[in-house]
Amino acid sequence: MNVIIVDYNSGNISSVINSFKEIAQDKVNVEVTSDLNKIKYSDKVVLPGQGSFKSCINALNKIDGLLDTLNEFAITNKKPLLGICVGLQMFADIGYEETETKGLGWISGKVTKIDNKNGKFKLPHIGWNQINIVKESKIFQNIKNYSHMYFVHSYEFIPKDKNTITAFTDYSSEIVCSVEKENIFGTQFHPEKSDKVGLKLIKNFLKL
């Protein structure tokens, strides 16, 4: 099985790479690339994202044909794809970080700044927080509800279809921290920085 971690210059993704390679060992071939053919013919894709919504979308657009290849992979061919942090946020129709920016439109919704209740809650939301799993998801198999995951973000994804939400975290309000729509999975938290529980989630994704 071939798993591609998409490298589109969106910041430091070394911890993502290391975690996937640790779980994969010799059983799964994990490669980091922006090679369109390799993405197209892989079995699973991981879309990481660090920085702003706008900078990540711009970086995807800079690689000629990458958006079309990702659309073909996830939407046309319905192969498993996992978006992490901004990788999840980009599933939205639109994001409002820096300027209004068009997203991938895979899961209808918007990305807006977390309401910090006039400064009561620090932004970015950084550190460990419990997740409340509200819907059965293949990537949460054998993961206990209210497990702690690691977060770093100031913006949240608000999907139109609440049925796509698989988990929330509580920070100033209920924040969507995991979504699933058919073959598309996304986590707002960083599984690669979430210790054994996060590695379990990565293992679940690789086992799909």
Provide the residue range defining the domain that includes 61: 2-207
| pLDDT tens per residue across all 208 residues of the chain | 999 999 999 888 999 999 999 999 988 999 999 999 999 999 999 999 999 999 999 999 999 999 999 999 999 999 999 999 999 999 999 999 999 999 999 999 999 999 999 999 999 999 999 999 999 999 999 999 999 999 999 999 999 999 999 999 999 999 999 999 999 999 999 999 999 999 999 999 999 9
Amino acid at 106: W
**pTM greater than the 0.85 cutoff:** yes
C-alpha–C-alpha distance, residues 62 and 170, integer Å? 35
Q: Tell me which residue of 67, 170, 186 sits closest to 178, measured CA to CA.
A: 186
pLDDT digits (tens, 9 = 90+) for 115-134: 999 999 999 999 999 999 99
Please identify every residue annotated as catalytic.
85, 190, 192
CA 31 to chain centre: 18
CATH number at 199 reads 3.40.50.880
Point out which residues pair with 29 in neighbouring strands: 2
Q: What is the secondary structure of 139-202 as a DSSP string?
A: GGTT--TT-EEEEEESEEEEES-GGGEEEEEEESEEEEEEEEETTEEEESS-GGGSHHHHHHHH
Q: How many domains does the chain have?
A: 1
Point out which residues pair with 4 in neighbouring strands: 31, 45
C-alpha–C-alpha distance, residues 144 and 133, integer Å? 9
